[in-house]
């Protein structure tokens, strides 16, 4: 190993269900977006990354509960995320975890064309220890234009336990959404989801996709729209948006899954031109992985959704 490596830089964690079945280099790069895939491949080749204490090859396949150990090279700090002073609304904090209330128009992790200005950049500015955790400690994600609550682990022990809780579906996540059409009764969608076969930026219901389960409850019907509370049992990309489109009730403002909506002449311009999917991560409930105490956090609707609701109520 490189003699510049420091022990307190070691990253250890358990592979989640989301990454099982992927190539080692692909899965580890997906879980650790502060490092490029080419750097991950180099570290695998040099023995800086081990699975269950064994050397591996980039083409090997990950299994759920595999234990990953990454020993980054100190000389490669340029590959780390850049800390940035980004305003983050912290609604809960202790020594083990943080819960933030995400605003719209910001992505969670760096991606192609977005190496800066993300939630992850802001988190490692506020909490430098997070640079040594997968995904900067983020346990799950919200789309760029979805608002609401996100859980962030501060230690590898907490990260591992929260990931396990997510896999066991013992973290309760509820969302508020406003959709097109009148949903008349509560229900459940159990339809697998995978990448769209043509547009790779989209997801779609696919019999060969990964299991996806969403419960929905009608809160209120308006003239031509519905307010829903939804519960996620799985965490597929765009899951609520895809499932609601599948049911024929796409979310108001969804620029990806709601573009085929035909508006009548009476619909308000404010509804027609609402600029983001009307979706908000309203509540989180789970047992604290270290203290075992119950954590219940709620987030009020942001102003744009409050205004949208008033517009719907006015008819």
DSSP conformational letter for 66: P
Give the residue among 226, 145, 232, 150 at the shortest CA–CA distance from 185: 226
- In the residue annotation, 89 being an active-site residue is answered as no
Alpha-carbon span 145 to 95, nearest angstrom: 29
Which 3 state secondary structure label does DSSP give 138?
strand
Q: How far is CA 189 from CA 100, 135, 141, 217, 260, in A?
A: 28, 29, 21, 11, 21
Alpha-carbon span 63 to 108, nearest angstrom: 25
Which 3 state secondary structure label does DSSP give 144?
coil
Exactly one of 66, 143, 145, 254 is catalytic; which is it? 143
Q: How far is CA 110 from CA 24, 32, 70, 141, in A?
A: 20, 10, 19, 12
- Exposure of 192 by Cβ count < 10 A (0-12 exposed, 13-18 middle, 19+ buried)? middle
Put residue 164 in one of left, alpha, beta given phi > 0 → left and psi -120 to 50 → alpha.
alpha
Catalytic residues: 143
């Amino acid at each position: 190993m490189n003699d510049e490596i420091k022990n307190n830089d070691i990253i250890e964690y358990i592979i989640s269900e989301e990454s099982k079945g992927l190539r080692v280099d692909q899965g580890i790069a997906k879980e650790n977006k502060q490092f490029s895939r080419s750097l991950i491949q180099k570290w695998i080749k040099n023995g800086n990354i081990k699975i269950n204490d064994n050397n591996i090859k980039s083409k090997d396949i990950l299994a759920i509960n595999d234990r990953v150990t990454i020993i980054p090279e100190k000389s490669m700090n340029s590959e780390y995320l850049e800390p940035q002073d980004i305003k983050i609304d912290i609604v809960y904090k202790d020594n083990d975890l943080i819960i933030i209330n995400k605003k719209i128009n910001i992505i969670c992790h760096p991606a192609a064309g977005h190496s800066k200005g993300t939630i992850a950049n802001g988190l490692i500015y506020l909490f430098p220890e997070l640079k040594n955790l997968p995904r900067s400690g983020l346990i799950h994600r919200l789309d760029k234009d979805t608002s609401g609550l996100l859980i962030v682990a501060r230690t590898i022990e907490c990260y591992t336990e929260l990931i396990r809780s997510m896999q066991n579906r013992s973290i309760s996540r509820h969302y508020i959404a406003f959709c097109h059409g009148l949903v008349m009764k509560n229900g459940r969608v159990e339809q697998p989801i995978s990448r769209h076969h043509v547009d790779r930026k989209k997801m779609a219901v696919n019999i060969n996709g990964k299991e996806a389960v969403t419960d929905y409850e009608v809160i209120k019907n308006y003239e031509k729209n519905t307010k829903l509370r939804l519960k996620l049992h799985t965490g597929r990309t765009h899951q609520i948006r895809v499932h609601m489109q599948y049911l024929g009730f796409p979310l108001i403002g969804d620029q990806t899954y709601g573009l085929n909506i035909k508006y009548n002449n009476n619909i308000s311009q404010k509804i027609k031109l609402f600029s983001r999917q009307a979706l908000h991560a309203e509540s989180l409930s789970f047992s604290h992985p270290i203290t075992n105490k119950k954590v219940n956090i709620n987030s009020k609707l942001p102003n744009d959704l409050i205004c949208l609701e008033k517009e719907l109520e006015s008819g």
